[in-house]
Structure 1
Amino acid sequence: MVWDRFAASDPGLLRLTAGLRTVSAIALTLVVLALLGTGVSHMVTGAMTAMTATFAVKDKLVRDQAVTLALGLPVSLAAMSLAALLNSRVVAGDLFFVVLIFAAVYFRRFGERATALGLIGFQIYFLALFVGAAPSALPALYLALAVGFGCSAVVRFGVVPETPQRVLTRLRDAFRMRLAQLVSVQIELLDAGPGQLEKVLDDMRLRTARLHEAALMIQGRLEEGTEDADKAALVQRRVADAEIATERLGMLLLNARSVERADTLTLHLPHAPVPLTGDWRPAEDDATIALRRDLKALHLLVSRPASLDGGTAVAHIRNRLLGYRDEERLPAAPSGIQDAFRGIGEAARAVLGLRLALDGPQDESDDSPATIRSREEFDAEDIALASSETPEDEDPAGLRRPTTRAAFQVSVGSVLAMIGGELLSDQRWYWAVLTCWVVFLNTASTGEILIKGYRRLLGTLLGAVAGVALAGLVGDHTWVSFALVLVFIFAMFFTAPLSYAVMSFFVTAMLGLLYTLLNSYSFDVLVLRIEETAIGAACGVIAAVLVLPVRTDRRTDELLGTVLERLGDVASAAVEQLSGGPASDLLSKARGLDTALDELRDSTNPLTYPITPLRGRRRTVRYLVALLETCAYHARSLAATAELVPHSRTIAADPRLHRAGQRIAHNIQVLAAHVEEEGARGEVESGASIASTLRDDGSGTEPSGTVTFRVLRHLQRLDEGVVGLARPLDVPVAERTDTKAVRD
């Protein structure tokens, strides 16, 4: 359905809610101020205050939002008063503005409330400069501020209410829909011809990445959205199981259609080679027909809400798919096709576990023995699964603390922007300061600031053109202008997480309309806006380069070291538990790995941006990130399997695996040492395959389809991925003596 697709594109409806809440608060403010008979400039003040009060408050709990909003009003009154009083005192006003900017950035270290109050203080001070606040107008401006905050509160808590529980419910629905979309693409993969393969694989990579994004968003909301820590851990585990099982199913389907087993890197690196069969489409035998049918059945199970699961038809489908977890229920077919059926069975089990965790017990009257066994396994896991505290990383101190460094950088940049902006215009210099301020928001390196400044300038240029056209069309129609302002504000908030350039376009177009409302619009004003934006972006980049700079390569190296460290932690802990060692909180370790990998991926954007002149480096970075994503996938799979060991009837610990994991742990340590210190000693070991090291004790090869065989495949692929990281990182590799490997 159209709504399902929209909800999947906006997990939790967070962008839609932000846009509706902001627009509603502004509209209500305009209505109230119009009824009070205030002037247009005060209506603009109230509208912008409502917008600021709405988007600045980010607390997750409703009571915390109320406290922050209540504290925001006196902060805004103080900022407006000081701006009005210092408006005629240029030097004192500029000095205070710089101090305010420094404090607003520095106090982010104290959490969401301090961040919100600092943002409110800055935005209201800027707003006072924009409307030309004077001491004589303060009473009316106070009224506009109070109305703006009041209307924001009414909309937040009454008109468009939001609770962590509701957000989590919508996020899990989005996860379910994205899961269904991924299965749908996997169905296409089954029948795709050579000419369609690359497009289908691109779609599968995109759907896999979006599913992972939704999983991380759920993890970020579990603490506030569930009643206790144990419930949060259970949901997190079931979400991870569903993600891993579905991603693995895609690999198994790709393997079933290949001459030899495809590399997991194919799912993470565009244009990776796929060893196709001569005739990509398989013969329409009974097994292939059944495989296509059961993939569609799995899609039905995933996409169907739990409230519609009643009746015997759905139970019959679930029973059939879960039956593929038993070897005797597999159809007669080549091993690759049988593996795909096993993958369907595991995916169906993961879907059942997700339903039980999210929706509670369900009707069991039509369960088959395979379904009963799966439910019993989940019951045993639920009892054994206990929450644990994860120690937080220690924050750096002094000038190494990101907020402290950013405070000095943005303050210096703002001083430069003031000087440059006032050389252009002593009336609208604050646009340069605003640009300098925003390019430092949510950035951590010089490269990120440069890219953000470029995007803002591009959006401003295009928005200025739109502003010229709209100002001419709207003319003196005040309420038409306000209506268009609301449309642009909604678009601004809805597109902000997707494209900063597009958001900047809507911001500039909106400002053109605001200037029209304030009777200060002209073509020269919009040109000046572009010039001030360019100066502000340039000053931000200069400050980032000269003041406590964080080079992009240094930032990525730090995050790469963190990813390798956490990859080693997950792999070592999983192997230890699979070998019969003590249980540990693998789920939290895997979550930490995913978070670190996402941060690394974001930090490499300046290196992979389309306009970067270093094309070879861009390809290397993409390959490196894809390899890390592949390694993380296998590490997560090992962790998910290891957590079943203490309470599973079908998975037993194997002490031999401890020896197999030693080489992987050693190689990760060598890579991390080279990243941390260039020229560090040590070589990556690349010897016999993991499976062959286990056969040295005289044991035979594990049968295909067994859990031990699956663990060996993940270990082998993780080992190959870690060794593969050595080349882009320029780490020496010891010669391989045996290239034979177990393929996934």
Structure 2
Amino acid sequence: MKAAGRSVRGGLRDRLAASDPGLLRLTAGLRTVGAVALTLAVLAAAGFDVTHMVAGAMSAMVSTFAIRERQRGAQAVTLAVGLPVALVSVSLGAVLSERVVVGDLFFVVLIFCAVYGRRFGDRGTALGLIGFQVYFLSLFVGASTGTLPGLWAALTVAFACSALVRFAVVPVTPAGLLQRLRQAFRARLAQLVSAHLALLDAGPEDADKALADVREGNARLHETALMIQSRLEEGTPDESTARLVQRRIADAEIAAERLGLLLLSARSAQRADTLTLHLPGAPAPEVGRLPGPDDATALLRRDLLALRALVVRTGTGGTAVAQLRNRLLGYRDEENLPPASPAVRDVFRGIGETARAVMGLRVALEGPQDESDDSPATARSREELEAEDAAIDAGEEAEAAEQPKGLRRPTTRAAVQVSVGSALAIVGGELLSTNRWYWAVLTCWIVFINTASTGEILVKGYRRLLGTVFGVVAGILLAALVGRHTWTAFALVLLLIFAMFYTAPLSYTLMSFFVTAMLGLLYTLLHTYSWEVLVLRVEETALGAACGVFAAALVLPVRTDRRTSELLVTVLERLAEVTEAAVGQLSGGPAGDLLDKARALDQALGDLRSATQPLTHPVTPLRARRTTARYVVALLETCAYHARSLAATAELLPTHPSIAADPRLRGAAGRTVRNIVTIADRVADEEVTAAVDTGPSIASLLGGDGGTGRYGRITDRVLRHLERLDEAVVGLARPLRVPVRSPDR
């Protein structure tokens, strides 16, 4: 019973870790709710009225979510500086409340300074956010000079409670966060193996859904890998350990994605295209039973279950786990491969490679393992891992890129845009309501946060308006249920705050829904609730979103096409860098920092994927552009997968016995790099007339030496990745309208 209970708890823990990597959303929700609840308790015990309690609750919420630094010392400094900023802001709000014109002009200046402060990093962003939100708070609670002493006390209590909850009640250390992210990576890797199992057993009618689950598993695993990458520096004791973890995470991610591709190829009548794994909605190839004897399918199912067990088990695991590991790693040395078709045997080899990556990940995360039960194949894999670990050294820091100046700087442009939009929102909001006009300003401010183009602002404004409409309905129902029960209303406010922060990274519409429902309860507590107030909230939200879109479209606009083109050029440049560096190292050139270059490519691709959301949104009327954008992003993800694989293979050169440098690769793959650069130049400048070259396959360009000698040990995998990368790059030319030149033309 105890073992079963531990198994259930472990399963629930893994599901939670997989759904919320690093427990970042849970931590944000608990911190905010804890700070608000503690603030309410202190203020209630001190005898403050409901208005000051509402002000304290909103201040606690702001002082919690505004702090974004990762180091605890930096968080403490920002929180300490944020308190006087908040006190000055609420004081000015109270003093200027009677001077309408001056107060409005100051609000616009404050908004400009708050947005412009983002150029100074996380601290500048946090202080600007605190200044704006607290000024808004003073308008919300109707602050006046007579109420300032009580508001100062409420804000001081709120900041103190926020600090107490952040550093004592719900503490988060960089090392602890990284450990939880590692657990999330392990859990998501196990989920991906489960998706592989479902794909193995899927019939023709279930193949598309099974493939969609594999796609989602790959994307979620990649997301967690990037989150780990961004926190390695703060969460590990030294740079060598950080690079070791980075390498093992990359190995496991690449091996798992390759295993899915091999399995899909084995289920299909022909080798599956890598693009199939990256293009959303692409139909699965026609599938049937695995070729070969049924025993091979049963063994494959057994070994996928064993692989999942290796992933989820922590610690030594005992003799049973060692036997599973030994059997799976034996496939790398062609041991015990069942009689089956070449495609099915490739899947078994892929399981062996994934098991080796899992073992490397376990060593990197948990330290040395028990080697007493190692088979010869396991011992060889362990020796390879140890040799690779010894070869890992610190890379050079990348030079900082030159930043644009003046109005070309994103923070300056955004500050001007949001100031103009807010001025329009103030004028329009005053016409709608002289008492609630600030809701339009708040919406205009919010739609500019984390957006960089007119299309992104339009989509965000639409989502906020949609969430607000449904939130008004919920607010009416909750206000009717709660009535004048103050503490019941506060309890529901806490619940809605938690839901707001827990769902914020998942859905902006959901977050807006919970915010609006919470405001309905706050109005009830302030005795200002009415149907007209909530309807006015929708009108002001629509006005603020419209003003934001108008300002973004006419004031220093950044068109979505321009934004995506700039990011596309960046992705192509990063892709060329990774490919050239990996091929150079595979050709015998000096070692470089390949994994960092690959992660820079992943980051650039993630930025492009976010920027194309306005083009791929379901409500967009431009269906052809939506299809093209999805296709281009999927092709780039395919290119990135092959480039990552080449980079990981190139880093094995000093230690792996079956891989040796081949100088011929540089010339054979040079066409691919030139094509990437040509496409980037064409996207950046339409006047460029160069064309993409096609020609013989890379394998044929290498010639043949019978597979013998030093150069004959270049693995088929390297050639396969180079071939697929070359094909994907040529495939990019058509949707991007770059001419393709054949050798005979």
- 1:440 and 2:462 equivalent? no
Cα offsets for 1:480-515 (capped at 9, x unmatched) = 110110111000000100110110010001001000
Aligned match of 1:550: 558
Aligned match of 2:579: 571
**Could you tell me whether the CA contact under 8 Å between 2:662 and 2:714 is conserved in 1?**
no
Q: TM-score, normalised by structure 1?
A: 0.97
List aligned pairs for 1:609-648, cutoff 5 A.
Answer: 609-648=617-656
- 1:347 and 2:354 equivalent? yes
- Does the C-alpha gap of structure 1 residues 2 and 328 become closer, same or farther in structure 2, counting only changes over 3 Å? closer
Aligned counterpart in structure 2 of residue 297 of structure 1, from 303, 306, 313: 306
- Does the C-alpha gap of structure 1 residues 200 and 252 become closer, same or farther in structure 2, counting only changes over 3 Å? same
List aligned pairs for 1:502-521, cutoff 5 A.
Answer: 502-521=510-529
- Does the C-alpha gap of structure 1 residues 518 and 335 become closer, same or farther in structure 2, counting only changes over 3 Å? same
Residue 98 of structure 2: SS of its match in structure 1? coil
- Identity in percent: 69
- Does the C-alpha gap of structure 1 residues 275 and 436 become closer, same or farther in structure 2, counting only changes over 3 Å? closer
Aligned match of 1:681: 689
Aligned match of 2:269: 259
**Could you tell me whether the CA contact under 8 Å between 1:702 and 1:708 is conserved in 2?**
no
Aligned match of 1:605: 613
Q: CA deviation at 1:390?
A: 2.2
Q: CA deviation at 1:400?
A: 1.1
Q: CA deviation at 1:361?
A: 0.5
Mapped partners of 2:656, 2:89: distance in 1: 61
Supply the AA of the counterpart residue of 1:369: P
Supply the AA of the counterpart residue of 1:481: A
Mapped partners of 1:479, 1:69: distance in 2: 28
Residue 461 of structure 2: SS of its match in structure 1? helix
Q: CA deviation at 1:275?
A: 4.1
Supply the AA of the counterpart residue of 2:225: A
Aligned match of 2:478: 470
Mapped partners of 2:127, 2:114: distance in 1: 8
Aligned match of 2:101: 91
Deviates more, 1:324-333 or 1:612-621: 324-333
**Could you tell me whether the CA contact under 8 Å between 2:275 and 2:635 is conserved in 1?**
yes
Residue 725 of structure 1: SS of its match in structure 2? helix
Cα offsets for 1:508-546 (capped at 9, x unmatched) = 010010001001111111111111111110000010011
Cα offsets for 1:698-730 (capped at 9, x unmatched) = 656999x97521100000000000000000000
Cα offsets for 1:66-109 (capped at 9, x unmatched) = 11111111110000111111110111111111111111110111
Aligned match of 1:270: 280
**Could you tell me whether the CA contact under 8 Å between 2:208 and 2:284 is conserved in 1?**
no
Supply the AA of the counterpart residue of 1:280: R
Aligned match of 1:327: 334
Aligned match of 2:28: 18
**Could you tell me whether the CA contact under 8 Å between 1:578 and 1:642 is conserved in 2?**
yes
- 1:231 and 2:238 equivalent? no
Residue 495 of structure 2: SS of its match in structure 1? helix
Aligned match of 1:727: 734
Mapped partners of 1:581, 1:21: distance in 2: 50
**Could you tell me whether the CA contact under 8 Å between 1:192 and 1:281 is conserved in 2?**
no
Flag structure 2 segments of 5+ consecutive residues without an equivalent.
Answer: 1-10
List aligned pairs for 1:364-383, cutoff 5 A.
Answer: 364-383=371-390
Residue 644 of structure 2: SS of its match in structure 1? helix
Cα offsets for 1:275-321 (capped at 9, x unmatched) = 435x435455332222221111101001112x2x3311111111111
Aligned match of 1:451: 459
Q: CA deviation at 1:30?
A: 0.5
Aligned match of 1:154: 164
Mapped partners of 1:545, 1:14: distance in 2: 34
Mapped partners of 1:396, 1:359: distance in 2: 44
Supply the AA of the counterpart residue of 1:506: F
Runs of 4+ in 1 over 4 A off after TM superposition: 281-284, 697-703
Residue 190 of structure 1: SS of its match in structure 2? helix
Supply the AA of the counterpart residue of 2:104: D
Residue 205 of structure 2: SS of its match in structure 1? helix
Q: CA deviation at 1:7?
A: 1.8
Number of corresponding residues:
733
Aligned match of 1:651: 659
Q: CA deviation at 1:2?
A: 2.8
Mapped partners of 1:126, 1:250: distance in 2: 51
Aligned match of 1:132: 142
**Could you tell me whether the CA contact under 8 Å between 1:192 and 1:280 is conserved in 2?**
no
Q: CA deviation at 1:271?
A: 3.9
- 1:495 and 2:503 equivalent? yes
**Could you tell me whether the CA contact under 8 Å between 1:688 and 1:737 is conserved in 2?**
no
Aligned counterpart in structure 2 of residue 195 of structure 1, from 191, 194, 205: 205
Q: TM-score, normalised by structure 2?
A: 0.96
Mapped partners of 1:736, 1:701: distance in 2: 30
- 1:359 and 2:369 equivalent? no
**Could you tell me whether the CA contact under 8 Å between 2:304 and 2:351 is conserved in 1?**
yes
Aligned counterpart in structure 1 of residue 436 of structure 2, from 425, 428, 432: 428
Mapped partners of 1:275, 1:76: distance in 2: 59
Mapped partners of 1:643, 1:341: distance in 2: 24
**Could you tell me whether the CA contact under 8 Å between 1:390 and 1:588 is conserved in 2?**
no
Q: CA deviation at 1:652?
A: 0.9
List aligned pairs for 1:74-113, cutoff 5 A.
Answer: 74-113=84-123
**Could you tell me whether the CA contact under 8 Å between 2:117 and 2:128 is conserved in 1?**
yes
Mapped partners of 2:509, 2:182: distance in 1: 30
**Could you tell me whether the CA contact under 8 Å between 2:598 and 2:647 is conserved in 1?**
yes
- 1:115 and 2:122 equivalent? no
Aligned match of 1:394: 402
Mapped partners of 2:513, 2:677: distance in 1: 46
Q: CA deviation at 1:638?
A: 0.4
For the aligned residues, what is the CA RMSD? 1.6
Mapped partners of 2:270, 2:465: distance in 1: 49
Deviates more, 1:230-239 or 1:714-723: 230-239
- Does the C-alpha gap of structure 1 residues 588 and 250 become closer, same or farther in structure 2, counting only changes over 3 Å? same
Supply the AA of the counterpart residue of 1:482: F
Mapped partners of 1:92, 1:405: distance in 2: 24
Aligned match of 1:212: 222
Aligned match of 2:289: 280
Deviates more, 1:225-234 or 1:596-605: 225-234
- 1:51 and 2:61 equivalent? yes
- 1:666 and 2:666 equivalent? no
List aligned pairs for 1:682-701, cutoff 5 A.
Answer: 682-695=690-703, 699=706
Mapped partners of 1:61, 1:281: distance in 2: 52
**Could you tell me whether the CA contact under 8 Å between 1:586 and 1:639 is conserved in 2?**
yes
Mapped partners of 2:41, 2:120: distance in 1: 36
Flag structure 1 segments of 5+ consecutive residues without an equivalent.
Answer: 739-744
Mapped partners of 2:444, 2:46: distance in 1: 36
